[in-house]
Amino acid sequence: MDEGYEYVAAAAPAIAVEPSYKPTSASSSEKIDFDKYDEIPVETSGIEVPHPIEAFKDIELGRVVMENIRAVGYDRPTPVQKHGIPIVMNNRDLMACAQTGSGKTAAFLLPIIAKLSQTSNYNDYYRRGPAMKGFPQCLIVAPTRELACQILDEAKKFSFHTHIKSAVVYGGASIGPQLRSLEYGCDLLVGTPGRLFDIMERGKVSWSNIKYLVLDEADRMLDMGFEPQIRKIVESPDMPKKGQRRTLMFSATFPKEIQQLAASFLDDYVFLAVGRVGSTTDLVTQKFIRVEDHGKQAALLELLSTSPRGLTLIFVETKKTADMLGNFLYAKGFPATSIHGDRTQRDRTAALHTFSVGQTPYLVATNVAARGLDIDNVLHVVNYDMPGDIDDYVHRIGRTGRAGKSGISTSFITSNNFNIVPKLLDILEESNQSTPDWLAALRGQRQMKKVPYGHKYRFGGRDFRTEGKSGFAPQRSFASNGNPSVQPRPYQSTAPVYGSYGRAPSNGPGLIPTPPSTGYSWPTAPHPPSNGYPLPPPPPAYGPVPPATYPARPYTYPTATR
């Protein structure tokens, strides 16, 4: 680790909130190859989108913030920072889609800290000592504890020598120290949805002073069951309504369904799509190995024995597999540890620390480590268990090849993973990488139709408001140098979509679409059901749905018996 950097996440579960350390003076730009960003495409859509910047000095961030930027060694902004910072500084809501490792955290922290540091010298609520509850001005919600602590680290760096106090709350640790950090003052609060909802229900925090609401890795939180908790937080009575606060959402992927859900939190927002860096470009060499479940351990040992030595992140699907595989590798002479949701926060922090410093260069993890974690110099990502969703695959291999560096990803393909093969082939085609013949042949063998990958044109998502509409809003497409480039047409799938029986499609009420021509015939019952009613006639292939009719069932009066 760089000299002078305090590893905050390795401390006790109660994270100190005072900005007590100076940002590292080592040049962080040495680990970023900005030449890799020159040809990255950028799209913006919305009304009156602010123009991008070329350098941090092109926009007024304040003297203290500029000194902190120079202290951490940021020489020039990345593409998401070039476009995102002026959007936030111009008081606009933002939905940003950019690959992890492209500088999203600084893209929202820098303008927020600059705005908060310019408004007042101190938070009026804490001038007379501790209060009964916290009144943060900025709320940042993250899906995992590790990502929340990482955001807190970055916030402390950029708010050094300012009056802004930062705190973090998350589950799996004692709530007492976290509540005390709120009582003694908190301008910027980072937390996980469950713990934030808990302290809100306890009455230990008020959202009445919120000016900025940030959802990092928003697609995962809205798609993986956190949506009810987030909605209760956002729609709480003391939370300023959209339009009265600025709402920012960041993620590497934004499917259309998640965009429609997330749009309910935003007001007249700008959609920013930055080409993916590190996941589907030449920076990451994607390899695939055909293996069955019983041969995975032997294939993994052979792979690790022949691969270059370096930090290796191994992804599995279950917590039990993570513990088992970690113990197996350790017994075979590979210094390994594991991380998953059932481990305590202290164990998870220790595992990440020993992995990042190279003491245990092999880390077996579930999807808890797939998003947001910024660990330098991860050379190799292994998908021991392939994910069921293509977005999870994109996030997993995004742990390597970060900030312009190269990396390797190796995925084990079994007979249970054939459903994801079509989208994998689309990703390989998009990133101009060679496709193994055996992998391409799986599409035809399983009679899989080509399913268009939703992130065409090297973007992790497209603004759903522009689909099928012309002239919705001014749109601009930029290369990373800020020059406008040709706007590609949105990709639209022409694959037929068949609805379920009884639903009304768009071609009229009460109609059902034509089923696919596969020779399928409606089944007939060999005998009447047990309730005495015959089955209704099968519906026609196309046309109005006939109402179900049943013959009258004769009723027999019971006879009394003596």
pLDDT per residue as tens digits for the range 412-463: 999 888 888 888 888 887 777 888 888 888 875 544 444 444 444 445 566 7
Residue 169, pLDDT above cutoff 90:
yes
Q: How far apart are CA 273 and CA 282, in angstroms?
A: 19
CA atoms within 13 A on the CB side of 360: 20
Backbone angles phi, psi at 466, to 5 degrees: -95, -5
- The percent helix, strand, coil of the chain (3-state, each to 5) is 35, 15, 50
In a domain, 561, yes or no: no
Which one is predicted more confidently, 541 or 105?
105
Same domain, 115 and 235: yes
Residue with tokens 């497409």: 477
In which band, very low, low, confident or very high, does the pLDDT at 395 lie, cut at 50, 70 and 90?
Answer: confident
Half-sphere exposure of 51 (CA within 13 A, CB side): 9
CA angle, 381 then 384 then 389, to 5°: 85
Does 36 have pLDDT greater than 80?
Answer: no
State the Cα–Cα distance between residues 63 and 52, nearest whole angstrom. 21
493 pLDDT higher than 50 = no
What's the CA gap between 93 and 244, in Å, rounded?
11
Question: Across 315-329, 384-398, 475-489, which has the greatest mean pLDDT?
Answer: 315-329
User: In this predicted structure, what is the pLDDT of residue 417?
Assistant: 84
Do 426 and 341 lie in one domain? The reply is: yes
User: Among the listed ranges 32-36, 77-81, 244-248, 295-299, which one has the minimum average pLDDT value?
Assistant: 32-36
Q: Is the same domain home to 316 and 254? A: no
DSSP state string for 235-289: TSTTSPPBTTBEEEEEES---HHHHHHHGGG-SSPEEEEE--SSSSSTTEEEEEE
Q: Same domain for 242 and 363?
A: no
CA separation for the pair 210, 215 (Å, rounded): 14
Structure token digits, residue 17: 């909130």
Question: Buried (b) or exposed (e) across 398-429, using 16+ Cβ within 10 A?
Answer: bbbbbbbbebbbbbbbbeebeebbbbbbbbbe
pLDDT digits (tens, 9 = 90+) for 176-189: 999 988 888 899 99
Domain match, 206 and 339 both: no
Residue keyed to tokens 């930062």: 166
Pairing of the two strands 362-365 and 407-413: unpaired
DSSP bridge pairs for 516? none
Residue 255 lies in a domain: yes
Position with higher pLDDT, 282 vs 343: 343
Give the Cβ contact number of residue 288 at 10 Å. Answer: 20
Nearest to 272 by CA among 132, 478, 90: 478
Kindly provide the b/e burial profile for residues 180-197, where b requires at least 16 CB atoms within 10 angstroms of the residue's own CB: ebbbbbbbbbbbbbebbb
Domain harbouring 215, CATH code: 3.40.50.300
Same domain, 261 and 292: no
Tokens of 431: 């990133």
First-to-last alpha carbon distance for the chain, in angstroms, is 95
Instruction: Give the closest residue to 311 by CA, choosing from 363, 372, 350.
Output: 363
Boundary of a domain, candidates 251, 274, 297: 274
Residue 267 sits in the same domain as residue 288:
no
Q: Which of 410, 429, 454 is the last residue of a domain?
A: 454
DSSP 535: P
Mean pLDDT over each residue of the chain, to the nearest integer: 75
In-domain check, residue 297 = yes
Going by pLDDT thresholds of 50, 70 and 90, the confidence category of residue 156 is very high
- Paired with 241 in beta bridges are none
- Asked if 349 and 247 sit in the same domain, the reply is no
Cα separation, 115 vs 133, whole angstroms: 23
Look at residues 256, 1, 250, 21 and name the one whose alpha carbon lies nearest to residue 155: 21
The answer to whether residues 257 and 291 belong to one domain is no
pLDDT score of 325 more than 60? yes
Asked whether the whole model's pTM tops 0.75, one would answer no
Confidence of residue 498 (pLDDT cuts 50, 70, 90): very low
Say yes or no to pLDDT of 500 above 60: no
- Residue 256 pLDDT > 60, yes or no? yes
How is residue 171 annotated by DSSP? T
Count Cβ atoms within 10 A of the Cβ of residue 324 and give its class: 0-12 exposed, 13-18 middle, 19 or more buried.
middle
Range of the domain at 379: 284-454
Mind listing the pLDDT tens digit for each residue in 77-103? Answer: 988 899 999 999 999 999 998 776 678
Residue 200 Cα distances to 140, 194, 234, 262, 550, angstroms: 14, 10, 11, 22, 55
Inside any domain, residue 551:
no
**What is the reported pLDDT for 67?**
94
Q: Is the pLDDT at 336 greater than 90, yes or no?
A: yes
Tally of structural domains, the chain: 2
How big is the chain by its Cα radius of gyration, in Å? 27
Q: pLDDT at position 5, please? A: 33
308: pLDDT strictly greater than 50: yes
Give the integer Cα–Cα distance in Å for 499 and 289: 36
Percent with pLDDT over 70 in the chain: 66
Distance CA 57, CA 341 (A): 42
- The H or E element containing residue 169 is strand 166-169
Q: What tokens were used for 289? A: 């190995």
505 is a domain residue? no
552, 533 Cβ separation under 8 angstroms:
no
Residues 213 and 248 in one domain: yes
CA–CA separation, 313 and 333 (whole Å): 16
CA 229 – CA 206 distance, rounded (Å): 16
Q: Which of 274, 301, 328 is the last residue of a domain?
A: 274
Q: Are residues 77 and 120 in the same domain?
A: yes
Q: Are 72 and 202 part of one and the same domain?
A: yes
**Residue 364 pLDDT more than 80?**
yes
Task: Give, for 300, the enclosing helix (H) or strand (E).
Answer: helix 296-306
- Alpha-carbon span 22 to 156, nearest angstrom: 9
Question: Please, where are the H alpha helices in 373-413?
Answer: 390-397
The stretch 308-317 carries a mean pLDDT of 90
In a domain, 472, yes or no: no
CA dihedral of residues 194, 196, 201, 203 (deg, nearest 10): 160
Q: Tokens in use for 274?
A: 């930055």
- Percent with pLDDT over 90 in the chain: 34
